[in-house]
Amino acid sequence: MNMKEAMLKYAPELAKDYREFILRQFKAMQDDLGPGLAGVYSSHKWGRVFSGLRRNIKKDHPEGRPSHVLSSRDYDAVPYVISEEALAQNAEKYGEEVALTWYNKMQSKVGGLSNVSVTDPASGWVILTGNHGKDKVQVRQQRIINVSSRGTPFHQFPALIYVNDKFLSEAAYKKLTLGWGFKPAPEKPVTMYACGKCGYTGRMGDFKSGAGMLSCPKCRSLNIRKVPGTQPKEHYVATTTGRASSRTPSRSAPPSSIGRIR
């Protein structure tokens, strides 16, 4: 079974979470505001939550009278009840949508896995297990349902990744198994300078400076110029034993030189 099939099979569990969450929130609202949820629209505590669950509830009119013929006081007295049909439809739709969103996030996080299974042990962790090549990958996730600023319920899945029973960060996992975006950083160019008199070679910081001029720390000559070309890291250390040898041509200074660095 591939990862998408395994995770979409989890949709009924997510739908169950949605249903239980709506029922808990609805009961807490009625305990606080009464069966008719009087003042819920202006409630700082419950207004946002009500907007997210109102499609799952309805006013129960024992006499069958429409809401628009009731006064505000009478309307508030009419209790809200759960609309079982609407709740069942909304929960099913929610479970399918969240399972697909969850899969897309996991696909970007751990890539495609084979032989995938999703279990929900008594500990409360959702454990996704699969194979990436010869490696055994296990993703342990908490299943948390919360409410957005607009009152919409949503799931969160904080994850821990294990490869062959060893914990790895997401970045380390990608570097190890996927190789996404982990190219060696290019070597930064290093500008080298050379004294035209004694051959001392180094970076700009190795030379004394003053009034816009560089001077050789060995012979105090102002005959300093840039060495053309990018210098590798092994040339960071300045030579102090005279002119560079022919074995290190990048350190040697041409006979012509200039005193002022522009």
Read off the pLDDT of residues 170-226 as tens digits, 9 standing for 90 and up. 888 877 765 544 444 456 667 788 888 888 888 888 887 777 788 888 888 888 888
Instruction: For the chain, give every domain's residue range.
Output: 3-178, 186-243+251-262
Least confident of 49-63, 77-91, 131-145, 181-195: 181-195
pTM score, whole prediction: 0.60
| pLDDT of amino acid 28 | 93
Q: How confident is the model at residue 254 (pLDDT cuts 50, 70, 90)?
A: very low
Q: How confident is the model at residue 233 (pLDDT cuts 50, 70, 90)?
A: very low
187 or 256: which leads in pLDDT = 187
Q: How confident is the model at residue 126 (pLDDT cuts 50, 70, 90)?
A: confident
Q: How confident is the model at residue 26 (pLDDT cuts 50, 70, 90)?
A: very high
Q: Is the pLDDT of residue 236 over 70?
A: no
Kindly state the average pLDDT of the residues 20-25: 93
Least confident of 80-94, 200-214, 227-241: 227-241
3-state secondary structure the chain: CCHHHHHHCCHHHHHHHHHHHHHHHHHHHHHHHCCCCCCHHHCCCCHHHHHHHHHHEEECCCCCCCHHHCCHHHHHHCCEEECHHHHHHHHHHHHHHHHHHHHHHHHHHHCCCEEEEEECCCCCEEEEEEEECCEEEEEEEECEEEECCCCCEEEECCEEEEECCEEECHHHHHHHHHCCCCCCCCCCCCCEEEECCCCCEECHHHCEEECCEEECCCCCCCCEEEECCCCCHHHCCCECCCCCCCCCHHHCCCCCCCCECC
Least confident of 55-69, 71-85, 148-162: 55-69
What percent of the chain lies above the pLDDT cut of 70? Answer: 74
Average of per-residue pLDDT values in the chain: 78
Q: Is the pLDDT of residue 72 over 90?
A: no
| pLDDT of amino acid 88 | 96
| pLDDT of amino acid 247 | 42
212 or 19: which leads in pLDDT = 19
